[in-house]
Amino acid sequence: MKKSCRQVVFDLIRNRKVISGKEIAKTTGFSAGAVSSAVSALMKEGFIVKEKFKSSTLKKSNIHGRPPLFLKIKPDYEFYIGCEIQNSHILVAVVDAYQQARIVRCFELPEPDQDLAETLEYIFRQVLQEVSFPKRVKGFGVCLPGSVDFHQGVIVHSPRVKSLTNYPLARILEERLHLPVVIENSARASGLAEVKFSQDKNLRNVIYIRIGKGIGSAIIIEGKLFRGSNDMGGEVGHIVVEDNYAAPLCTCGNRGCLETLASCPAMVRRANQLIQQGAHSCLESVFRDAPDAVKFERLVEAAAINDKVALIVFEETITYLIRALGMLINLLNPDSIILGGEEVKAKEFFLDQIKLRIKTKVITEVMQNLRIEFSHIGVEAGAFGVALLTQEKVHSILGSKISY
C-alpha cells in the first residue's frame, strides 16, 4: 500500500529522531509545499514539535544566521502497552513514540478457568493508570507461545491457554478497550525486539531462536519479520534434525524435529534416559525420586561441576542445533544469530562450542560477518516486541486513512 505524504514525513522524522524541513523534502522527493502542509498538520495535531538547539550547538555545526526548522516527534505523543503471557505470570511493558521503555510490570497468571480477555482488560486498565497521558495510549499488544494468526488476531492454539482454540482475542479486546489490538507469537515478538533494541543499528537479517519448554523462533529479513505465505514462516523448531524412525514424535506429527531433541524438557528427558541406561551422574537420586519434576537448571548446575551426563546432553543438543542453524545460515546469510530463552542459563556451555562447530556446516563466506550471541534483553523481550508491532499497526492504519 502506498503511504501518504503525511505518513512518509511522520515516519522519516521518527526514524531520524531530529531532521530539518529541507532535508525532509530532499529525502522524500515531495515538493516543499507538500512537506510544509504535512508538517503543519502534524504539528497542529501534536504529533511533532520544533527542536530548539542552543546557539553553541548551532555554531559548532557551522550554522549561522537564521537557524533552519528542525523537527522531532513528541516522545509523549503516543504510548503502546505490550504484554507477554509467560509460564507463571504476565509481563507488561509500555513504550513511547521513540520506542523507549517507560514502564515494566509483572502480574500473576490467573487460574486457567478465568476469562483471558477479562484478565487482560484488567491488566491493561491497571497499567493505564500509571501512564502519564492515558489518553495517548494508542494500542495494546499481546503475545503468547503457540500458533497465532497475526492478521486475524486469533489464538489458533497455545500451551498457555489450552482451553482456547481459534479464539478471536484481538476482536474481543478491541470491543472492550476501543483500541487497535495485536496478537503475536512470543518468539516472533521477542526476536523483533532483539533487533529493534540492539545497540547495533545496522542489524537487518537475524535468526532468533528461543529455547524453553518448546523452541520458538523468528526470522527477521531486512528489519521485518518474515511470515511466509501462510503466516507459518520461520518455524525453526520443526526442522527435522534426526531423520530416523526411532526419533521422538513431535506435536506436528513428524519425527526428529529440533523441538523434540533440543528443548529444555527434551534435554532433561535425555539425561534421565542416559542414567536409566547405567550412566553415572550426580543427578541419579534426583531423577530416581521425582523424574518428572527435574528442572533444566539442575542440568546446568551438574554441567558446572563437570557431570558427564549433563555434558553429553549439552554436546548432543549443540549437534542438533548446529544442524538446523547450518541450513539456515547457508540459506539466509544473516548478520546475527541470537539465542534466547532458558538456554541463556547454559550460555557458557553452548556459545563457544556453537561458534566453533558451526564452521563445519556452512560455507566460509557466510561466516565472515556473522555474529552468534545470546539475548541482550531477557524476559521482557516479548512484551517490548509486541508493543512495537502494535505501534507499527496503528501507524499503518493512520497512513491508510489519510491521503494527499
Tell me whether residue 238 or residue 270 sits nearer to Zn ion (CB atom).
Answer: 238
Tell me whether residue 233 or residue 291 sits nearer to Zn ion (CB atom).
Answer: 233
Tell me whether residue 239 or residue 310 sits nearer to Zn ion (CB atom).
Answer: 239
Minimum distance from residue 156 beta carbon to Zn ion (Å): 15
Minimum distance from residue 230 beta carbon to Zn ion (Å): 16
186 CB contacts (<8 Å, ≥6 apart)? 84, 85, 86, 143, 144, 145, 210, 216, 382
Tell me whether residue 139 or residue 234 sits nearer to Zn ion (CB atom).
Answer: 234
Minimum distance from residue 248 beta carbon to Zn ion (Å): 10
Between CA 112 and CA 115, with CA 114 as vertex, the angle to 5 degrees is 120
DSSP 11-77: HHHHHHSSEEHHHHHHHH---HHHHHHHHHHHHHTTSEEEPPPPHHHHHHTT--SSPP-EEEE-GGG
Minimum distance from residue 269 beta carbon to Zn ion (Å): 16
Tell me whether residue 186 or residue 391 sits nearer to Zn ion (CB atom).
Answer: 186
> Nine-digit cell at 65?
544566521
Minimum distance from residue 254 beta carbon to Zn ion (Å): 5
Minimum distance from residue 52 beta carbon to Zn ion (Å): 56
Measure the CA–CA gap between 58 and 41, rounded to whole angstroms.
27
Minimum distance from residue 276 beta carbon to Zn ion (Å): 25
Tell me whether residue 196 or residue 238 sits nearer to Zn ion (CB atom).
Answer: 238
Minimum distance from residue 233 beta carbon to Zn ion (Å): 15
Tell me whether residue 235 or residue 343 sits nearer to Zn ion (CB atom).
Answer: 235
Measure the CA–CA gap between 338 and 195, rounded to whole angstroms.
9
Measure the CA–CA gap between 221 and 227, rounded to whole angstroms.
10
CA-CA-CA-CA dihedral for 153, 159, 163, 165, to nearest 10: 40
DSSP 211-227: ESSSEEEEEEETTEE--
CA distances from 119 to 85, 116, 139, 330, 345 (A): 11, 5, 17, 44, 31
Beta bridge partners of 107: 90
CA distances from 69 to 48, 60, 174 (A): 12, 17, 39
Using CB under 5 A, list all residues that contact Zn ion: 238, 250, 252, 254, 257
Tell me whether residue 254 or residue 333 sits nearer to Zn ion (CB atom).
Answer: 254
Query: Phi/psi at 236 (nearest 5 deg)?
Result: -60, -35
Measure the CA–CA gap between 319 and 182, rounded to whole angstroms.
36
378 CB contacts (<8 Å, ≥6 apart)? 340, 344
Minimum distance from residue 327 beta carbon to Zn ion (Å): 15
Tell me whether residue 43 or residue 247 sits nearer to Zn ion (CB atom).
Answer: 247
> Nine-digit cell at 370?
556473522
